[in-house]
Structure 1
Amino acid sequence: MSKHTNTGIATDCALHAWPCPFRLDGELAVITGGGTGLGLAMGRCLAAAGARVVLVGRRAAALEAASQSIGPLASFAVHDVDQLEQAPRFIEQVQRQHGPITILINNAGIHLKKPAVDTTEQEFLQVLTTHVLGAHALSRAVAPAMMQQGRGSLLFIASMASLFGIPNVVAYSAAKSAYVGMVRALATELSPQGIRVNAIAPGWIETDMSHKALAQDPARRQKILSRTPMGRLGQPEDVGMAAVYLCSPAARFVTGVILPVDGGASIGF
């Protein structure tokens, strides 16, 4: 097998009249938490691969700016994933305006950094509602149409907290660990009907939020880098490109996986 660059793969596809397996032309992707950070990066990468993307969040101004930064393949829709009963109506609205949804990326979430003994039941429940129940509600709402189409892709954005213990984030860890179980259960139920279900577990990624947090805690930054074999933080586009792969025909036989995008942090010592 010859060695290929990304350009080489595309060239080979063209020479052999194969559709490039990493293209997403004709797909419609709904991305929650799409206005900033990883959601926006995934939107950019999916649109670059040819998909139409609908960025979802609670702040219209941020979503509009994000969609404009991506270009004509992007639009936005305001929705609060905590409003569980509104999920079916929201999905119907998106499909009425844009057509069948073929990709749903459950990325919206909130963070809570607090010792376990100080985390109240209300705080714990709020984190679980946003991550777990919000993702389930949207997945449940979009799945029937995907079943009728005989194809679709559900993607959950998990975390390193899904894979190993991190102090002071008990509610967040519980929520992201629940994603792992949801992915495996949904994959067994939905994959026979053509719907693939996967997750990405990002490592430490260079975002505005992480930059501010680590700039104030150099010891934590050094600890992270010391246990990451690649010795650096990832970029948001690293997660975006992984999302393109998992949602593309290149991953047509991939379902039920949790893909770390972490520079090796989850296997480093």
Structure 2
Amino acid sequence: MADDAFSLAGKLALVTGGGTGIGLGISKALIEAGARVVITGRREAVLQEAVGELGQHAGYLVFDVTNTTAIPELIGEINQKYGEVDILVNNAGIHLKKFSKDTTDEEFAGILQTNLLSVFSLTRECARKMMDRKDGSIIFIGSMAGIFGIDRVAAYGTSKAALTGLMNNLVTEYSPFNVRVNTIAPGWIESPMFLNAINADPARKEKIINRISMPGFGTPEDIGNATVFLCSKAARYITGVVLPVDGGAVVNF
């Protein structure tokens, strides 16, 4: 039945950066589809508030994904406390809006550490158990900046474009073990931070609106629903795709 195909009942999902914005939207959608969810982030108060909103099927661990040497310990704690991870959503990320000529090496490296290197480390650790079980789904959260050029986001855009290369190579290794890796590329998604940023830059706001084919901006729920689909049995034969959830921005002139 169709409902069964989209059900995530019995699955445990790890969502990094799951306490706010897109991460919180993803966590809500996964729980609504029947999964239990563990969220991570750096601010305990934010995580506590999110879990209060998400309900009894959610838990949290305070963790900074840039601390890659501690990731095996994190996954071990999750395995012990909640069970083995069936779904990994690599959502945690940071942004930098700066002309490339003004971006320092340290700033560029910091973006890569959070948006790329931590994703590799988390994926590697979760994939080991998934491969043993011959079942698992891994989601990368990319960006429009990883698909086409956007001014003043050279470091961020590079980190997101690199996720596609990482995904492609992991697909060749993980597919024989029935572990799927896909990327969701959100377009412009409503959040207080995004709306404040574009309202402070009217010219950029107009450019963004003109780029989007469909009316309005996306919502965290849109990204959450795409995540549920890609992690469900309905997408059992889908791996190695970059799925724009962008209202047609990637194809609009």
Find the counterpart in structure 1 of residue 178 from structure 2.
Answer: 194
Task: Tell me how far apart the structure 1 counterparts of residues 202 and 103 of structure 2 sit (CA, whole Å).
Answer: 26
Which amino acid in the other structure matches residue 179 of structure 1? L
**Uncovered stretches (5+) of structure 1, i.e. residues with no partner:** 1-12
1:218-237 matched pairs, under 5 angstroms:
218-237=202-221
1:156 aligns with 2:140: yes
Which residue number corresponds to residue 190 of structure 2? 206
> Partner of 1:129: helix, strand, or coil?
helix
1:245 maps to what in 2?
229
Distance 1:111 1:158 in 2: 12
Superposition pairs of residues 25-36 of structure 1, within 5 angstroms = 25-36=9-20
The 5-angstrom pairing of residues 124-139 of structure 1 reads 124-139=108-123
Q: Which residue of 2 aligns with 1:118?
A: 102
Q: Which moved more, 1:99-108 or 1:212-221?
A: 212-221
* Secondary structure, aligned partner of 1:133: helix
1:77-88 superposed matches below 5 A: 77-88=61-72
Q: Deviations over 1:78-137 (max 9, x none)?
A: 111111100101001001001110000001111111100111101000000011110111
5 Å matches for 1:145-184?
145-184=129-168
1:198 is displaced (CA, Å) by: 0.2
- Within 1, Cα distance between the matches of 2:242 and 2:168? 9
How much is the aligned-residue C-alpha RMSD, in angstroms? 0.9
- In the alignment, the residues of structure 1 paired with residue 202 and residue 193 of structure 2 have an alpha-carbon distance, to the nearest angstrom, of 15
The 2-side partners of 1:149 and 1:80 are apart by 27
Does residue 261 (structure 1) correspond to residue 222 (structure 2)? The answer is no
**What corresponds to 1:10 in structure 2?**
none
The amino acid of 2:190's aligned partner reads E
User: 1:207 & 1:44 partners in 2: Cα distance?
Assistant: 15
Residue by residue over 1:148-195, the C-alpha shift from the partner in whole angstroms, topping out at 9 and shown as x without a partner, is 111001100000011000000111011001111111111111011010
User: Cα deviations across residues 202-242 of structure 1 (Å, max 9, x unaligned)?
Assistant: 00011111111111122222211111110311111000100
Higher CA-based Rg: 1
SS of 1:77's equivalent in the other structure is strand
State the 1:19 CA deviation. 6.0
Aligned residues: 253
Structure 2 CA distance, aligned partners of 1:195 and 1:132?
A: 20
Name the amino acid aligned to 2:224: G
Aligned to 1:7: none
Q: What residue is the counterpart of 2:24 in the other structure? A: 40
What is the DSSP-based 3-state SS (H/G/I as helix, E as strand, rest coil) of the residue aligned with 2:94? Answer: coil
Which residue identity does 1:247 align to in structure 2? C
TM-score, normalised to structure 1, is: 0.92
Residue 49 (structure 2) pairs with residue 65 (structure 1)? yes
- Give the secondary structure class of the aligned counterpart of 1:180: helix
Q: Which whole-Å CA distance do the structure 2 matches of 1:62 and 1:92 have between them? A: 23
1:4 aligned residue:
none
Equivalent runs, 1:96-111 vs 2, <5 Å = 96-111=80-95
Q: Deviations over 1:6-62 (max 9, x none)?
A: xxxxxxx3xxxx761111000000000111000000000000000000011111110
Taking the aligned partners of 1:58 and 1:128, their CA distance within structure 2 comes to 18
Measure the CA separation in 2 of the matches of 1:192 and 1:161: 31
Task: Give the Cα separation in 1 of the matches to 2:242 and 2:176.
Answer: 19
Unaligned 5+ residue runs, structure 2? none
